[in-house]
Amino acid sequence: MTERVVLAYSGGLDTSVAIPYLAEQTGAEVVAVAVDVGQGGENLDVIRQRALDCGAVESEVVDARDEFAADYCLPALRANALYMDRYPLVSALSRPLIVKHLVAAARRHGGTIVSHGCTGKGNDQVRFEVGLGALAPDLKIIAPARDFAWTRDKAIAFAEEKGLPIDVSAKSPYSVDQNLWGRAVETGFLEDIWTAPVEDLYAYTADPAQERDPDEVVVTFDAGVPVAIDGETVTPYQAILELNRRAGAQGVGRLDMVEDRLVGIKSREVYEAPGAIALITAHQELEAVTVERDLARFKRGVDQRWGELVYDGLWFSPLKRALDAFIDDAQRQVSGEVRLVLHGGRATVTGRRSEAGLYDFGMATYDTGDTFDQSLAKGFVQLWGLPSKLAAARDARWGGC
pLDDT confidence bin for 399, thresholds 50/70/90 = confident
Fold agreement (4-171, 176-291+333-353): no
Of 251, 306, 296, the residue nearest 74 (C-alpha): 306
Q: Rounded mean pLDDT of 172-192?
A: 89
pLDDT confidence bin for 145, thresholds 50/70/90 = confident
Q: What is the pLDDT of residues 92-114, one digit of tens each?
A: 999 999 999 999 999 999 999 99
Flag whether pLDDT at 178 surpasses 70.
yes
pLDDT confidence bin for 45, thresholds 50/70/90 = confident
pLDDT at residue number 168? 60
Is 94 annotated among the ligand-binding residues?
no
Of 203, 206, 201, the residue nearest 268 (C-alpha): 201
**Annotation marks residue 14 as catalytic:** yes
Is 285 annotated among the ligand-binding residues?
no
pLDDT at residue number 169? 57
Q: Which residues contact 232 (CB under 8 A, 6 or more apart)?
A: none
Is 12 annotated among the ligand-binding residues?
yes
Tell me which H or E stretch contains 183: strand 182-186
247 within 8 A of 64, measured Cβ to Cβ? no
The residues facing 269 across adjacent strands are: 257
Q: Please indicate whether residue 80 or residue 160 has the higher confidence score (pLDDT).
A: 80
Q: Which residues contact 368 (CB under 8 A, 6 or more apart)?
A: none
What would the CATH number be for the domain defined by 176-291+333-353? 3.90.1260.10
Among candidate residues 4, 65, 94, 124, the one labeled active-site is 124
Is 10 annotated among the ligand-binding residues?
yes
d(CA 368, CA 361): 11
Q: Which stretches within 264-376 are classed as H helix? A: 274-290, 293-311, 318-330, 361-364
Is 175 annotated among the ligand-binding residues?
yes
278 within 8 A of 253, measured Cβ to Cβ? yes
pLDDT at residue number 400? 58
Q: What is the pLDDT of residues 235-268, one digit of tens each?
A: 999 999 999 999 999 999 999 999 999 989 999 9
CATH class of the domain comprising 4-171: alpha beta
d(CA 356, CA 332): 10
Among candidate residues 14, 36, 303, 312, the one labeled active-site is 14
Q: How far is CA 39 from CA 23, 44, 128, in A?
A: 28, 10, 18
Q: Rounded mean pLDDT of 74-87?
A: 97
Q: What is the pLDDT of residues 187-244, one digit of tens each?
A: 889 999 999 999 999 999 999 999 999 999 999 999 999 999 999 999 999 999 999 9
Is 271 annotated among the ligand-binding residues?
yes
Torsions phi, psi for 341 (to 5 deg): -110, 120
Question: Own/partner pairs for 297-302, CB < 8 Å, 24+ apart?
Answer: 299/326, 299/327, 299/330, 302/79, 302/326, 302/327, 302/330
Q: What is the DSSP string of 141-179?
A: EE-HHHHT---HHHHHHHHHHHT-SS--S---SSEEEEE
**Annotation marks residue 63 as catalytic:** no
Pairing of strands 4-8, 29-36: parallel
**Annotation marks residue 175 as catalytic:** yes
Lowest mean pLDDT among 26-35, 163-172, 366-375: 163-172
The percentage of the chain sitting over the pLDDT mark of 90, rounded to a whole number, equals: 80
pLDDT at residue number 171? 60
Q: How far is CA 241 from CA 44, 235, 237, 251, 398, in A?
A: 19, 10, 6, 15, 64
**Annotation marks residue 95 as catalytic:** yes
Going from N- to C-terminal start, the domains of the chain cover 4-171, 176-291+333-353
Q: Which residues contact 84 (CB under 8 A, 6 or more apart)?
A: 257, 259, 260
Mean pLDDT over the full length of the chain: 93
Find the distance separating the first CA and the last CA of the chain, reported in whole Å.
Answer: 76
Is 8 annotated among the ligand-binding residues?
yes
Among candidate residues 48, 78, 95, 268, the one labeled active-site is 95
Pairing of strands 113-115, 140-142: parallel
Flag whether pLDDT at 82 surpasses 90.
yes
d(CA 284, CA 118): 34
Among candidate residues 63, 107, 175, 222, the one labeled active-site is 175
pLDDT at residue number 357? 96
d(CA 65, CA 158): 33
* 3 state SS of 118: coil
Flag whether pLDDT at 3 surpasses 60.
yes
